[in-house]
Amino acid sequence: MLSFVEIAKRSETGPLATADDFAMQNVAFRVSALEKKYGLRHAAGTYVNCDDDLADRAWQAGRELILQSGLYSLNSRRVIQFDEQEVDERLAAATAEFTAGAGKGAVRVYRRDVEDRRPPVIFGGPFNADVHESMFVKLNEAFAGEPLIDLLLLPGYLKNLDGVEIRPNSGLSTRAAMLYARWAREALMRAGRPGMPIVGHAVMALNEIASANEDWGLRVCDPRAFAIISELQVDDVTLTRLAYYLALGAPIYISATPLIGGYAGGPAGAAIVGVAAHIASVLLGGDVMHLGPQHVKYKQQTNAMSLWMGSVVKQAVARNSRMINTTSVTTSGRPGSLQYILEFSALALSVVTSGSHLTGPRPAEPLGWNNVSPLMCRLFAEVGRAAAQLGRAEANQIAGALHAKYQDKLDLKDAPVGLPFEQMYDVRTLQPNAEHWALYEQGRQELRAVGLPL
Amino acid sequence: MAEHEAIIERMRDSILEADDDEAVAAAEAALAAGMDPLAALEAGFSEPIRELGEAFNRLEIFLPQLVLSARTMQAGLKVLERALTTAAREAARKGVVVIGTVEGDIHDIGKTIVVAMLRSAGYEVHDLGTDVPLPQFINVAEQTHADIIGMSALLSTTMLRQRDLLELLQLKGIRDKYFVIVGGAPATQAWADSIGANAFARDAHEAVLCLNARARNVTSRA
């Protein structure tokens, strides 16, 4: 079976290509041809795909793409190619279930089917928002205190320490990586969930080892996260991380963000790239595959094209493989606004009914520090649970109704600015303030009004 | 006149179909027919590429088509440039841009879109690629007599390099020579203001609008 060593070797010995040629010849032209070959087209007005045959064709196209294009190694400028046997063997051996975390906080992460009635696993937390050092423990404690959040997600960027901005790979960045892990563990302890798993990474690859510590840092039971670079690219940092994670034995969480309007073309092309990236994640040894459907214009994931694209990719993967997959939810509206709720609910409906777990939510363009809300993550999880009781046709109808409410404010300049954590919570008690509770209730009412069984 | 119109039509089609060979042939035909190269450039190449840029902004076309058409325009432009006087060349050129993703950051797509849109809007663009060391921005800007430096960064951590380049320009005493525009997912107008950049653009469309406004100001002051 294909090993990491073989992938690393191919990144040094595969065919040479410029980045431009890979993007145009290996991705853009091939995706365009596959889109035509498999008759993939976005039907405007469809937010959740209900066509099984289309999902299966998207899977075939994505599988063909990864076999034709391979992965591009940016630093060595070489293409890592795969053959059919390797792809099939790795897909057959893909992780279908694993346990993250420890003791009573351990969480079983499992694959879901299309219209699976089991609730999605919730990966929730600051999601790499800029979190100020003074609020790092409190904010993560508030997230860990939400019982519906299963795994604490990416506890936040520490952009500076003691008032000094952190330069990548500097001594300060190593100190930040250690404090990031230590403070995240402290937050779990303070929330009474010491065994809760943390999906984390040290931001800079060289600091991965510094942040790993069973007693005070990231543990072997904590999934480690990294991204495949758009489109279908890896670099030395990716492979460095992967080498370490595999040796450590931690679960591996890999994200991919195919870009609608970029080299993949429109939503159908991006769906093909999304499927190919999921398969690539399995080839790299990933245990959870995260899709972050991006959009060149809106830079978020709740526009009509991204909703549809996400549903197609998730259904293609759920129907044709044993992969565990999740979808990140990035919105135009920011926490503290009703639009934030409407947007994350629409995407949750689209992908939960399509076989995905949930990651997020977060605003695409946070305004300053700590622009995230644990209470909104609770509502996100509640929406995910409600969505798991629906079929795709119902989800499509409700997602469409929600989309109609926010579609005119997708532009990040027009989207509600929201509030930082400190203005939505009492930071002494870590409880939402009256205004934030009122927003939560208003959001639930709006969602019930369009038919979501909350 | 009918011959001239037919040549303009060929030039337009070459851009819309991203046909490099036809762009070169049509540009040669324009010169052979005694057409004003500046007028041919505007009607035959600049106008359709602008239309494509607007279509991309409306997502009626996607990045590959824009990149290919921008390359086609470069091929045709080389032919016409031979016949342009220095003054006409300056008139045709809105600005010289040196652009790249800052060091430590290998993200490419956003910057590539900006490059294609700027070329389609008539700018001479020197794309330094990704993971670009700060001195390289300055060296290439000096060598190419650029007036604009663009920096992209996708990560909060690498965004700091945008600040560092501005400090470096200041240190070398050449800050005022360049209009510096920054962008990338973590960048904001507040960030641009805080580091003393001239402008911030959320996306390629904004970058073009911003630099066009600058070009109009420069022209009106001249």
This complex has an ipTM of: 0.81
Nearest to A416 by CA among A363, A361, A359: A363
Q: What is the CATH number of the domain that holds A403?
A: 3.20.20.460
3-state secondary structure of A152: strand
Q: Is the same domain home to B86 and B148? A: no
Cβ–Cβ under 8 Å, residues A155 and A180:
yes
Is A235 near chain B, with CB under 8 Å? Answer: yes
Quick one: average pLDDT of B91-107?
Answer: 86
A24: which chain B residues are within 8 Å (Cβ-Cβ)? Answer: 64, 67-68
Cross-strand partners of A179: none
Distance from CA of B108 to the nearest CA of A (A): 8
- Return d(Cα A347, Cα A303) in angstroms, integer: 9
Check residues B59 and A52 and name the one with the higher pLDDT.
Answer: A52
Give per-residue burial for B183-213: e unless 16+ CB within 10 Å, then b.
Answer: bbbbbbeebbeebebbbbbbbbbbbbebbbe
Nearest to B113 by CA among A264, A388, A84, A288: A264
| Partner-chain contact B157 A173, CB within 8 Å | yes
- Return d(Cα B44, Cα B13) in angstroms, integer: 9
Q: For residue B25, what are the domain limits?
A: 2-91
Residue A68 covered by a domain = no
Question: Residue B110: what pLDDT?
Answer: 85
Question: Residue B85: what pLDDT?
Answer: 76
B109: which chain A residues are within 8 Å (Cβ-Cβ)? Answer: 230-231, 259, 262-263
Least confident of A188-192, B34-38, B58-62, B155-159: B155-159
Is A292 near chain B, with CB under 8 Å? Answer: no
- Return d(Cα A317, Cα A304) in angstroms, integer: 20
Is A117 near chain B, with CB under 8 Å? Answer: no
| Partner-chain contact A261 B56, CB within 8 Å | yes
Nearest to A443 by CA among A342, A374, A370: A342
Q: Is the same domain home to B66 and B103? A: no
Is A365 near chain B, with CB under 8 Å? Answer: yes
Which among B37, B70, B91 is the end of a domain?
B91
Number of C-beta neighbours around residue B67 at 10 A: 23
Q: Is the same domain home to B51 and B108? A: no
Q: Write out pLDDT tens, residues A214-259.
A: 999 999 999 999 999 999 999 998 999 999 999 999 999 999 999 9
Residue A282 covered by a domain = yes
Tokens of B198: 């001239």
Cα-based torsion angle of the residue sequence A446, A447, A448, A452 in order, rounded to the nearest 10 degrees: 160
Residue A92 covered by a domain = no
Is A417 near chain B, with CB under 8 Å? Answer: no
One DSSP character per residue, B13-30 reads: HHHHTT-HHHHHHHHHHH
Name the average pLDDT for chain B. 90
- Return d(Cα B75, Cα A82) in angstroms, integer: 36
Number of C-beta neighbours around residue A117 at 10 A: 9
Residue A276 covered by a domain = yes
Q: How many domains does chain B have?
A: 2
For chains A and B, CB pairs below 8 A equal: 72
Q: What is the CATH number of the domain that holds B103?
A: 3.40.50.280
Please give the backbone phi and psi of residue A236, each rounded to the nearest 5 degrees, phi first: -60, -35
A28, A32, A157: residue with CB nearest B156: A157
- Residue A8's identity, in one-letter code, is A
DSSP element (H, E) containing B118: helix B109-120
Q: Is the same domain home to B28 and B126? A: no
| Partner-chain contact A229 B62, CB within 8 Å | no
Is A370 near chain B, with CB under 8 Å? Answer: no
Q: How many domains does chain A have?
A: 1
3-state secondary structure of A283: helix
| Partner-chain contact B108 A265, CB within 8 Å | no
Number of C-beta neighbours around residue A243 at 10 A: 16
Q: Is the same domain home to B40 and B78? A: yes
Question: Residue B220: what pLDDT?
Answer: 63
Please report, rounded to a whole number, the percentage of residues in chain B having pLDDT higher than 90: 56
| Partner-chain contact B109 A259, CB within 8 Å | yes
Residue A11 covered by a domain = no
Residue A20 covered by a domain = no
Which among B91, B113, B147 is the end of a domain?
B91
Question: Residue A346: what pLDDT?
Answer: 98
Is B191 near chain A, with CB under 8 Å? Answer: no
Q: What is the CATH number of the domain that holds B7?
A: 1.10.1240.10
B202: which chain A residues are within 8 Å (Cβ-Cβ)? Answer: 299, 412-413
Please give the backbone phi and psi of residue B30, each rounded to the nearest 5 degrees, phi first: -65, -45
Cross-strand partners of A327: A291, A358
| Partner-chain contact B108 A24, CB within 8 Å | no
| Partner-chain contact B157 A166, CB within 8 Å | yes
Query: Which strands form B124-127's sheet, in the order they lie side by side?
Result: B124-127, B96-101, B148-152, B179-183, B199-200
- Return d(Cα B111, Cα A410) in angstroms, integer: 22
B132: which chain A residues are within 8 Å (Cβ-Cβ)? Answer: none
| Partner-chain contact A297 B202, CB within 8 Å | no
- Return d(Cα B184, Cα B154) in angstroms, integer: 5
Cα-based torsion angle of the residue sequence A176, A178, A180, A183 in order, rounded to the nearest 10 degrees: -130
B63, B156, B188: residue with CB nearest A262: B63
B57: which chain A residues are within 8 Å (Cβ-Cβ)? Answer: 297
C-alpha to C-alpha distances, A320 to A53, A279, A323, A324, A355, nearest whole angstrom: 11, 11, 9, 12, 11
Q: Is the same domain home to B62 and B76? A: yes
Q: Is the same domain home to B40 and B122? A: no
Tokens of A115: 């219209």
| Partner-chain contact B157 A167, CB within 8 Å | yes
Interface of A with B in 153-212 (CB under 8 A): 157, 159, 165-169, 173, 203-204
Is B160 near chain A, with CB under 8 Å? Answer: yes
Is the bond preceding A361 in cis, omega lying within 30 degrees of 0? yes
| Partner-chain contact B63 A296, CB within 8 Å | yes
| Partner-chain contact B203 A28, CB within 8 Å | no
When scoring B106, B113, B119 by the number of chain A Cβ atoms within 10 A, the one with the most, hence best to mutate, is B106
Q: For residue A330, what are the domain limits?
A: 97-449
| Partner-chain contact A229 B202, CB within 8 Å | no
Is A127 near chain B, with CB under 8 Å? Answer: no
Is B209 near chain A, with CB under 8 Å? Answer: no
Regions of chain A short of the pLDDT cut 50: none
When scoring B105, B108, B191 by the number of chain A Cβ atoms within 10 A, the one with the most, hence best to mutate, is B108
Distance from CA of A226 to the nearest CA of B (A): 13
Q: Is the same domain home to B146 and B174? A: yes
Cβ–Cβ under 8 Å, residues A58 and A279:
no
Q: Is the same domain home to B14 and B106? A: no
Residue A330 covered by a domain = yes
Tokens of A327: 């979808």
Distance from CA of B33 to the nearest CA of A (A): 35
- Residue B93: pLDDT band with limits 50, 70, 90: confident
Is B194 near chain A, with CB under 8 Å? Answer: no
Q: Is the same domain home to B108 and B213? A: yes
Is A393 near chain B, with CB under 8 Å? Answer: no
Length of chain B (residues): 222
B67: which chain A residues are within 8 Å (Cβ-Cβ)? Answer: 24
Question: Residue A137: what pLDDT?
Answer: 97
Residue A42 covered by a domain = no
Q: Find the distance separating the first CA and the last CA of chain A, reported in whole Å.
A: 45
Which among B60, B91, B122 is the end of a domain?
B91
pLDDT for residue B222 is more than 60: no
- CA A389, A394, A396, A398 dihedral sign is negative
Distance from CA of A262 to the nearest CA of B (A): 5
Exposure of A451 in the CB half-sphere (CA atoms within 13 A): 15
C-alpha to C-alpha distances, B126 to A24, A32, B132, B140, B185, nearest whole angstrom: 19, 28, 12, 8, 22
When scoring A167, A240, A296, A367 by the number of chain B Cβ atoms within 10 A, the one with the most, hence best to mutate, is A296
B113: which chain A residues are within 8 Å (Cβ-Cβ)? Answer: 262, 296
